[in-house]
A and B are shown apart, each in its own frame.
Chain A
Amino acid sequence: MNAFISGAFDTAVGELPGSSCMGLHAQAAMGAVDDAGLQLSDIDGVLCAYSFTQPHLMLGSVFCEYLGIHPGFCAAVQAGGASAATMVMQAAALVASGQCRHVLVVTGDNRLTGMSRDGAVAALSEVGHPEFERPFGISVPASYALVAQRYMHEYGVSSEQLAAIAVEHRRHAGRHPKAHKRDPITVDQVLASRIIASPLHMLDCCLISDGGAALVISSRAAAADTRGKPVEILGAGQGHTHEHIVAAPSLTDFGCKASSRAAFERAGVKATDIDVAEIYDSFTITLAVELESIGFFQRGEAGAAAALGELGLGGRLPCNTHGGLMSYGHSGAAGGMFHAVEAVHQLRGRAEARQVKDARLAFVHGDGGILSAHCSLVLGVN
């Protein structure tokens, strides 16, 4: 695609008292620019996402004002959990088309300390349809629970199998010194955690964290000016089927199928070629649906595969090696960006205790809404 990730950085994650949304953005941005070996003045494009603690109609402009930069291109992308991957896809188009040389994509939010947990849950529930969902008490977990109930029914998936996915994420996070939750958990603990919306338990759900993450995306020519090993954006694709779960054409088939197919085709690779996957895991069911729709596992088999360690380090498909949204951290749009940053760490061989041996090809996926908006990326190094 003539687009490379030349810089990557994530801030501390978890409970960060004294942090602010824009402060996290700035820290992530400066880290990514420094990682690329660039000066801030080299950045000629900026993409931001959205914030709960500092919401604004024009978050991109708010960020540039905060940091004191005046890029030639600036916009904000709002696609929920698909925002990070979508920003990378959009930045790739900007540099590949010659409109920019180095685009900074930056996300961050202090959702944990900047608002109450109830406030975060309530704000998320506003994605429900105002007339045909919210009057009935819908929430994001309840929406995913509706998917889970149907998916488990159709494909014979058990709660124990979904729990195994959460357990493996915590094992991954245990190898990451920055992860928000590192204490190991068991399947029994997941099943004993309180029910949020049946069949989903508390430990089937992602965290609420503070944190920020950023990347620098550069054209091939511009990447030659950067310091580290550039990671090529080999393919990208999107899939969109609905926004509200009541309007979804299916409760088992979603846009991840189309988005991953497009990304694989553009990259000229197959699912079986992927060395490491970093896939949006807002809930255990989210990851199960995505892994199976994308073609990494047969229908109904992702949970069972997780129980056998196939998503672990050394498994068939090491997945969410940082611990994902369930254990590493989830800070709004930065949650999805953590997946992308981890893929860069893996491909550059600097994932330390989490390193997947000889990782050359990574798959990154974001899901926004209720499995509504999907964006897939294939990243690689020579």
Chain B
Amino acid sequence: MVKHCMNNTKKTRIILIVSIIVLAILFLVALMVGRYRINADTFFKAIFDTSGQYLTENNVIRILRLPRTIIAILVGMSLSVSGLIYQELFQNKLVSPDLLGVSNGAGVGAALAIILGFSGVLLSAFAFVFGITTVVLTVCISKNFKSKSSMILLLSGIVVGGFMSSILSMLRYFAQDEAIISNITFWLMGSFAYTNMSDVFVLLPIVGIMMAILLIIKWRINIIALGQEEAKTLGLNYNLYRVIIIAMATLLTASSVAIAGTISWIGLVVPHIVRLVVGRDTKNTIPITIVFGGIFMLICDILSRTFTSSEIPISALTGLIGTPVFIFILLRKRRTLET
């Protein structure tokens, strides 16, 4: 049995190492491809160039592609791992990181900012604050029911999210100006096009700290997934862990959405792919989800800016790739259950 357990750990380690290598390769590919194509030879010359001979290439890589590639990886990691920990906490495999209304709230914030004529950091700040406020509102409403069941929190999330979605529709309806409406629509579909290094400096520490906490408590998430009664009697402070998980997922999702807009599917699909590969144990699924999330989002970003002259919105691609992958997983799982 020790051997069995070690084999499982070994398998996870191998998958983790291989996927980190894949992520590193995709990172380099993402810096090379795009409308201004840079071949491998020029790429390496450009990044080590001090003479100014490859100034254009250097600028394209450093100013345009490096920040968006890092942001894509961080957002992919954040949304995927948030989806995983929410699915475990709420004992429901169909929930996604925006369950408690964070994305809808951020959407309202962003739409308001666009209508008020703000962009850049102010737009992100509006989206972030509204996203967090929506989750706080959801939690406050559920507290009024004085029920310990996660179902009340889940229902509050659906209600508040629906309310925010209605406000967003009203804002779009009353905005009238075509340019504003198309800006809101574009933001809602998610994009890494306008990201820069200052976004990286904001997102990196948030993601870094949250991931470090998650990696520390990764095995204990299993016990939280068994539910309040079992977790409590096994010696875990369930309510404390629930607050930690909701706070982490909210911070990760709100900061990701604030910078890159609403991105659907990834938080739902990636945890399922990972479970199919390494099983249910969160000691294995959390690190693998973090890396797989980065890979999935990077692939979507590369595709979004490679095949057409204008960028394809990220949410359109995550849906296009996510749907067949999700159906494939469901079919595989059905087959596993039948045998």
A and B: bona fide binding partners: no
Interface residues of A (CB under 8 A from B): none
